[in-house]
Structure 1
Amino acid sequence: MTDQQPSRFERGTDGPKVIMVGVDGSESSLRAAAYAGGLARRQHALLAVVYVQPVMAAGASMGAPVAETTDEIAEGIVAQIREAAERVKDTFEVRWQFHTFRGDPYGGLVKAADELKADAVVVGASEQAGHRFVGSVAVRLVKAGRWPVTVVP
């Protein structure tokens, strides 16, 4: 005879704690953010919204205000997310944070997922036709096999 206690079901302790979504202002990334927001709400997870600011050495070397432009994009994305969160706050409660990383989109999202300890990654499908041949960020994240990845069309 053993002194084992019967296993108990613990409500609300399983599932992802951090759901990360990559956004860049494109329609597909905003759909991905909405989808990830729904997942985070249902799972009571933190929604980590990540914008990867591209590093454009060529543009910067010619005097283009690259950092200012990408900062403006990040600010615009944050404003959209805040507005959406404000619209649904009486109906749904979603905990979210906005993070900005610099680099190429794939490398930035990998770094973000690692640093934020993401349990799941959500991205929008690429809207560029050439990515079918070269490989999109979403495909590269799936192939990395480090997190469950959801690609939203």
Structure 2
Amino acid sequence: MVGSAGSDSLGAVTEQHAHRFERGTDGPKVIVVGVDGSDSSLRAAAYAGGLARRQHALLAVVYVQPVMAAGAAMGAPVGEVTDEIAEDLVAQIREATERTKGIFDVRWEFHTFRGDPYSGLVKAADDLKADAVVVGASEQAGHRIVGSVAIRLVKAGRWPVTVVP
């Protein structure tokens, strides 16, 4: 009697958890990497690409377009400039993909989000159901005082975060 009651309750527990989304159980399936054209972000993309290849994961390359309302109000073509940066990043990624085709095959997607880098990466990781986030270390001295995007992502504690120097 006890054996059958145990199997019923185990079945109910298993059935109850079968419909929940669970991150990171078999290694990352979606890896988000933030790129902005800086050397450290491109190193992060290379690192994340290798990780995605080894894990057979999807590499989601994310560029967060800054929103500069003050610049736009003064007539500066901010949207055009950030669109050009995004197009240039896609071209660099495609070129790198073509150079390594047949040697290193990685499934990847490019996404752009608007906002500040931290909020954009959080939204990207949430929307894409990321299992891991990879970013480059900040190259700006002021971030030691205010806090870099990487530190804020780590403190959020929602995904494993790798910071590439």
TM-score normalised by length of structure 2? 0.85
Distance in 2 between residues matched to 1:14 and 1:103, nearest whole Å: 32
Instruction: Provide the rounded CA distance (Å) in 2 between the counterparts of 1:114 and 1:63.
Output: 33
Please give the residue correspondences for 1:58-137 in structure 2 after superposition, counting only pairs within 5 Å.
Answer: 58-137=70-149
* One-letter amino acid matched to 2:120: G
- Aligned residue in 2 for 1:45: 57
Q: Distance in 1 between matches of 2:137 and 2:104?
A: 26
| One-letter amino acid of the counterpart of residue 36, structure 2 | D
1:24 to 2:48 alignment: no
Secondary structure (helix, strand or coil) at the match of 2:145 reads: helix
- The structure number with the bigger radius of gyration is 2
Aligned length in residues: 144
SS in 1 for 2:153: helix
What secondary structure does 2:41 align onto? helix
State the 1:90 CA deviation. 1.6
Instruction: Quote the sequence identity (%).
Output: 86
1:92 to partner: Cα distance: 1.0
CA RMSD in angstroms, aligned pairs only = 1.4
Deviations 1:48-94 (A, max 9, x none): 00000000001000000000000000000000000001100120110
Structure 1 unaligned residues grouped into runs of 5+: 5-12
Partner SS for 2:159: coil
Quote how far apart the aligned CAs of 1:128 are.
0.1
TM-score, normalization by structure 1 = 0.91
